[in-house]
């Protein structure tokens, strides 16, 4: 019994390694969340207004029209 479990684990380990590698590659792909995280780190010292929210704020609020410096962290598919 123990020997068959060890053989099974050796047999299935390439699948686990593949899915681990795949998950690592997906986590490294650029998306709007990590792009905005990098941008806010750059803009944080000057930022006075931070816009958060759903796609309504993402598409409807432009911080360049504010009198203070602002940054829009709203994102599509975020709940209110």
- In the predicted structure, residue 43 carries a pLDDT above the cut 90: no
Q: What is the mean pLDDT of the chain?
A: 89
Mean per-residue pLDDT, 39-67: 89
The percentage of residues in the chain with a pLDDT greater than 90, rounded to a whole number, is: 49
Closest CA to 32 of 62, 65, 55: 55
Closest CA to 73 of 33, 46, 42, 45: 33
Contacts 24+ apart (CB under 8 A), 27-33: 32/75, 32/76, 33/75
- In the predicted structure, residue 78 carries a pLDDT above the cut 80: no
Closest CA to 51 of 1, 39, 19: 39
């Amino acid at each position: 019994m123990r020997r068959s479990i060890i053989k099974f684990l050796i047999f299935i380990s390439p699948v686990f390694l593949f899915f681990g590698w795949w998950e690592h590659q997906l986590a490294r792909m650029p998306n709007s969340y990590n792009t905005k995280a990098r941008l806010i780190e750059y803009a944080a010292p000057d930022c006075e207004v931070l816009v958060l929210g759903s796609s309504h704020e993402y598409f409807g609020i432009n911080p360049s029209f504010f009198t203070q410096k602002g940054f829009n962290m709203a994102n599509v598919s975020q709940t209110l």
